[in-house]
């Protein structure tokens, strides 16, 4: 079908089109002839067809970049007028506010075509200039994956710095883990779907996007759930873009959320893709357990979920970790496998943790022998206190402050 012939839910159509084009880009870049074709069902009697071609002598990475399109054209197409955003949010009306944090406030809005949007209005205290803001919008806009919240555009008028995202109706995973009644709605199939979706989203950031990105703030409140309970990773305020061949980086300013930071990052400022793997492992254990356990702004008690899971594992009673309030059937072997994977991800030595590619392989393999996990990494309070006497800056929070601070531009 021609895209101009479609009549229906514009937001849904745009999401389907976006996913299809991203799949085409990935498939074409990987193909020997640098081309790909795809068709997807829009309705029972409507299909959308797409094709992508690139010059056959391009490398995979260059082809991927080429298919993304012209930089300036892409940026200009993302620009929203402030008046349009004010109309969508009823001038940032209080009843439309759906979130608030150190970065600013988030509002639900409805565009004139009926599409729902989430509007993140950054605080005026942001240290970023207009050029830096636009550059980083351009980077985030390149992240195209069904398990990442999609950036629709931005507004830069006067003192206003605004980001416009797709609206995700089911709030965050954190909401389901904290609210008893909502938590009962999560079946095992939904939990497994959420775990696999998060893993795929992180893998895309680490290996499959045109940039190598370390999120650095993976936690349930930064995982949104759409109407079909598909997870979408959000909040790239602390993400770092690193060189493709870089194994580890260090920072003098350590920011993040207790309970989800890897020990090497919390204590020494060292971060890598394995830091995200650690955070993912904590989330896996929490999703299975059915609640957040001991994640706060203080170091005491932050290791509870890891200690609890490790105890059940060593006692050979891993299923006792499973949420007793969970409804519906589940496969015993699948639950144990997910607990096993979670424990592999939270091992103390980063070298022992699997990559996200390996994690996705484990999750997609119906029968596989996994390596035995070592004891999880825990925080050492005395080491943290010792480090605070050095010239490192620490900003541990229970709910991290996110703006838009992607740094270091390194295409693959």
94 among the known binding-site residues?
Answer: no
pLDDT of residue 279: 96
Helices in 204-317 by DSSP H: which ranges?
263-268, 273-289, 304-314
Dihedrals phi, psi of 241, to nearest 5 degrees: -90, 125
Tell me what pLDDT residue 282 has.
Answer: 96
Mean pLDDT of 349-363: 97
- Between CA 228 and CA 87 the distance in angstroms is 28
In the predicted model, is pLDDT for residue 4 greater than 50?
A: no
Q: What is the DSSP letter of 46?
A: E
Position 65 scores a pLDDT of 60
Q: Which residue has the tokens 């696999």?
A: 196
pLDDT at position 386, please?
52
- Tell me the per-residue pLDDT of 390-405, one tens digit each, with 9 for 90 and over: 445 545 444 443 444 4
Per-residue pLDDT tens digits for 196-223: 999 999 999 999 887 888 998 899 989 9
The rounded mean pLDDT for the chain is 81
Residues 6+ apart with CB under 8 A from 316: none
73 pLDDT exceeds 60? no
d(CA 18, CA 20): 5
Q: Which residue has the tokens 């390194």?
A: 410
Mean pLDDT score, 44-67: 75
Contacts of 77 (CB under 8 A, 6+ apart): none
At 165-195, the pLDDT tens digits run 999 988 889 888 887 666 567 899 999 999 9
Mean pLDDT across 144-168: 91
Pick the closest to residue 305 from 326, 316, 321, 323 (CA basis): 321
> What pLDDT is attached to residue 19?
76
Residues 6+ apart with CB under 8 A from 62: none
pLDDT at 347 over 90: yes
| Alpha carbon 186 to chain centroid, angstroms | 20
Question: For residue 181, what are the contacts with CB-CB under 8 A and spacing of at least 6?
Answer: none
Q: What pLDDT does 178 receive?
A: 80
Q: Which parts of 299-399 fold into alpha helices (H)?
A: 304-314, 332-345, 356-364, 381-388
386 is catalytic: no
Q: Chain-centre distance of CA 70, in angstroms?
A: 26
pLDDT above 90: percentage of residues in the chain: 40
Q: Which of 208, 217, 226, 276 is catalytic?
A: 217
């Amino acid at each position: 079908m021609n895209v101009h012939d479609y009549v229906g839910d514009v937001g849904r159509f745009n999401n389907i089109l976006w996913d299809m084009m991203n799949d085409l880009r990935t498939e074409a870049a990987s193909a020997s002839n640098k081309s790909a074709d795809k068709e997807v069902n829009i309705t029972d009697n409507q299909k959308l067809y797409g094709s992508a071609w690139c010059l056959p002598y391009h490398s995979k990475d260059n082809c991927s970049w080429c298919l993304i399109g012209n930089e300036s054209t892409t940026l200009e197409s993302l620009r929203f007028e402030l008046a349009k955003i004010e109309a969508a949010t009823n001038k940032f009306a209080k009843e439309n506010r759906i979130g608030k944090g150190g970065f600013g406030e988030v509002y639900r809005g409805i565009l004139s075509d009926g599409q729902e949007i989430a509007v993140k209005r950054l605080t005026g205290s942001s240290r970023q200039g207009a050029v830096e803001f636009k550059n980083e919008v351009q980077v985030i806009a390149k992240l195209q994956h069904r398990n990442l919240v999609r950036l629709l555009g931005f507004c830069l008028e006067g003192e206003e710095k605004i980001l416009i995202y797709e609206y995700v109706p089911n709030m965050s995973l954190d909401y389901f883990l904290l609210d008893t009644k909502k938590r009962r709605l999560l079946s095992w199939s939904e939990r497994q779907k959420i775990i696999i979706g998060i893993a795929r989203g992180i893998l895309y950031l680490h290996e499959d996007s045109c940039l190598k990105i370390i999120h650095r703030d993976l936690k349930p409140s930064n995982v949104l759930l759409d109407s079909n309970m598909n997870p979408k990773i959000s909040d790239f305020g602390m993400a770092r873009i690193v060189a493709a061949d870089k194994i580890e980086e260090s920072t003098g300013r350590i920011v993040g959320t207790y309970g989800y930071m890897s020990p090497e990052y919390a204590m020494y400022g060292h971060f890598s893709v394995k830091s995200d793997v650690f955070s993912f492992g904590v989330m896996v254990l929490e999703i299975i357990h059915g609640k957040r356990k001991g994640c706060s702004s203080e170091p005491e008690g932050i290791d509870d979920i890891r200690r609890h899971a490790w105890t059940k594992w060593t006692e050979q009673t891993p299923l006792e970790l499973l949420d007793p309030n969970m409804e519906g059937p589940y496969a015993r072997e699948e639950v144990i496998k997910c607990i096993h994977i979670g424990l592999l991800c939270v091992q103390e030595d980063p070298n022992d943790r699997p990559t996200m590619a390996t994690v996705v392989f484990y999750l997609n393999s119906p029968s596989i022998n996994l390596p035995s996990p070592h004891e999880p990494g825990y925080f050492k309070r005395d080491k943290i206190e010792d480090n605070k006497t050095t010239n490192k800056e620490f900003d541990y929070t229970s709910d991290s402050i996110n703006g838009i601070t992607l740094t270091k531009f390194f295409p693959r």
